[in-house]
Amino acid sequence: MATNAAVQGQIAVGTRQSAGLWSDAFGRLIKNRLAILGLILVGLLLFAGVFGPIIAPWPYQVQDLQAVFANGNKPLPPLSPNHLLGTDNLGRDLLSRLLDGARISVSVAFVVQIVILVIGVPVGALAGWFGGRLDNFLMRLTDVIYAFPDLLFIILLSVAFRETFFGKALDGLLLVFVAIGITSWVTVARLVRGQMLALKETEFVEAARAIGVSDGRIVTRHLLPNGIGPVIVAVTLGIPGAILAEATLAYIGVGVQPPRASWGSLIAEGQKYVRSEPHLVVFPAICIALALIGFTFLGDGLRDALDPKLKGKQ
């Protein structure tokens, strides 16, 4: 009896979703102050990514060596004349390099997450829903991908494709993005599969099946929306995760080609100065943290807004 009511409610919700899902969701989203903050930060990031090089006070590669020599061969500290956030040891303006790096970091964020979602969600959904041999095969494939020697792969790709458009795209970073994406969709796939496994046994799915709803419709209308929470978290965490993966690769020595810099490579370079010139690592880290805050709050807000059951609560 109670079960029936729940199923009825679920199906009713499902129907209403299709009518005004996005307008409802948007309405809920803009009522959430944190989500708005997230939206603003992400907007700023996108703005910096697109217009950063234009609003930057200096071109990213210009060196103000005389200022460095006047400062005793040391990088200029923040709030120096002409250099709001200071410079590195070549006198390159940190603010300008951060603004230029925003473009690279925004690309990392989106390219990698798109690769991950495009591969990870379908694979996970298929494996979880159909189970059996397909599940087994896809999951063993993810084992292989997990253990995949991605660093070797990146090094090889960057040598093999250096002279081509592919290798030069985004100052050599496209390869890194694709490699990070290829090796990190597995987490999302396993996550989606886990959700599928758990949800497909629930009463509302059994009920939907009983009344003859097709598999595809159940997956796309009921399972994915219900299991989307952890996926949104995975993606919002994945964005700074990808930025950090790029930083770690930069620390090892793989990634963006100088004189361009990404936030990750700025941190990796600044790490050496962490004791003497902390601004070189602090500001890039703040940028990454702000991006993370933006995506996290926006992600949380989106999840709440898209959640059909949350209507009327809060």
Minimal distance in Å, beta carbon 282 to another protein?
Answer: 10
Q: Is 84 in the site for another protein (CB under 8 A)?
A: no
- Residue with Cβ nearer another protein (122 or 230): 230
| Alpha carbons 126 and 135: distance in angstroms, whole number | 7
Q: Is 151 in the site for another protein (CB under 8 A)?
A: yes
Minimal distance in Å, beta carbon 157 to another protein?
Answer: 10
Tell which positions 42-71 bind another protein, by CB under 8 A: 61-63, 65, 68-69
* Structure tokens belonging to residue 156: 């090889």
Minimal distance in Å, beta carbon 227 to another protein?
Answer: 8
- Residue with Cβ nearer another protein (51 or 70): 70
Tell which positions 205-234 bind another protein, by CB under 8 A: 229-230, 232-234
Q: Among all chains, which residue has been given the structure tokens 């496209």? A: 174
Q: Is 122 in the site for another protein (CB under 8 A)?
A: no
Minimal distance in Å, beta carbon 102 to another protein?
Answer: 15
Minimal distance in Å, beta carbon 114 to another protein?
Answer: 20
- Residue with Cβ nearer another protein (16 or 272): 272
Q: Is 19 in the site for another protein (CB under 8 A)?
A: no
Q: Is 80 in the site for another protein (CB under 8 A)?
A: no
Minimal distance in Å, beta carbon 305 to another protein?
Answer: 13
Tell which positions 233-252 bind another protein, by CB under 8 A: 233-234, 237, 240-241, 244, 247-248, 251-252
Work out which of 50, 55, 79, 159 binds another protein, going by CB under 8 A: 159
| Binding span for another protein by CB under 8 A among 23-31, 174-182, 208-216, 289-297 | 289-297
